[in-house]
Structure 1
Amino acid sequence: MEVELMQIENLAQAKEAIASVGASPVSVNIMAPKAVFRVIKVTGVSATAANILKQEMLSKGGDAAVHAGVVNCRQSKSDVILMGTVKQYRQVIKSLHIQPVGLPKLADKLKKLLNEG
């Protein structure tokens, strides 16, 4: 029995790796978005939007780093580092479309970025 650390950069690589162990084609498509991890920086986010982003990412199993002063709105703006799998981002993007404070527009930007990446 051996172990190997894998670097999976995109969905095509994820599908190839998962298929290589003999997984069914249906399983390959289900699991591939779980195998690609992305870290995305969003700049100049309002405290309200940063708090919503943090909550949405956490609720989907990802995370978001925000300025410490955002939680009580002592900091009016923050950059945000989002961390999650492609699957988690897809779930967050759906949720952001129904949120206020410019988050539907951010959802569109995230979707475009992930589809290009």
Structure 2
Amino acid sequence: MESNIHILSINTIKDIETELSSIGVSSRGIDIMKEKLIFLVLKLENVDTRAANIIKQTMLSNGAEAAVSAATVNLSVSHTDVIIGATIKQLRQAIQRLQEQPWGLKEIAKKIEELVD
């Protein structure tokens, strides 16, 4: 018997719960894995460069990624857009850290949390 492989388009927790359940994953297994299996790409616009540097460091420390303007590292621009790629679990971990930071990061963390929820 030949195996088939295809890409799943998963956008919500409900989607992944349904897929995991359909292959017989236990409810405990679903709870453990569901936030690790949804990958999101977020774009944050007009972020203070100092905050963008913290976002990048925070995402990298959680195994996620964040792209910022090349001029961010030396603060030669005041603001930049940020593109984040992360699982829901990684975003939740980052939210906790970002809530403790200055330069508008509490508000950014709140907006990310609203999107994730």
| TM-score tier after normalising by the smaller chain length | over 0.9
The residue that corresponds to 2:116 in the other structure is 114
CA distance in 2 between counterparts of 1:113 and 1:3 reads: 30
Q: Residue 15 in 1 paired to residue 54 in 2?
A: no
Pick the aligned partner of 1:64 from 60, 63, 66.
Answer: 66
Pick the aligned partner of 2:97 from 89, 95, 98.
Answer: 95
CA distance in 2 between counterparts of 1:57 and 1:112 reads: 18
Structure 1's consecutive aligned runs of 4 or more residues displaced over 4 angstroms after TM superposition are: none
Pick the aligned partner of 1:26 from 28, 35, 38.
Answer: 28
Q: TM-score, normalised by structure 1?
A: 0.93
Q: Identity of aligned pairs, percent?
A: 39
The residue that corresponds to 1:36 in the other structure is 38
Q: Secondary structure at the match of 2:82?
A: strand
For the aligned residue pairs, the C-alpha RMSD in angstroms reads 1.0
Structure 1 residue 2, shift from structure 2 partner: 2.2
Q: Which amino acid aligns with 1:36?
A: I
Q: TM-score, normalised by structure 2?
A: 0.93
Which blocks of at least 5 consecutive residues in structure 1 are unaligned?
A: none
Q: Which amino acid aligns with 1:45?
A: V
CA distance in 2 between counterparts of 1:37 and 1:6 reads: 11
Which blocks of at least 5 consecutive residues in structure 2 are unaligned?
A: none
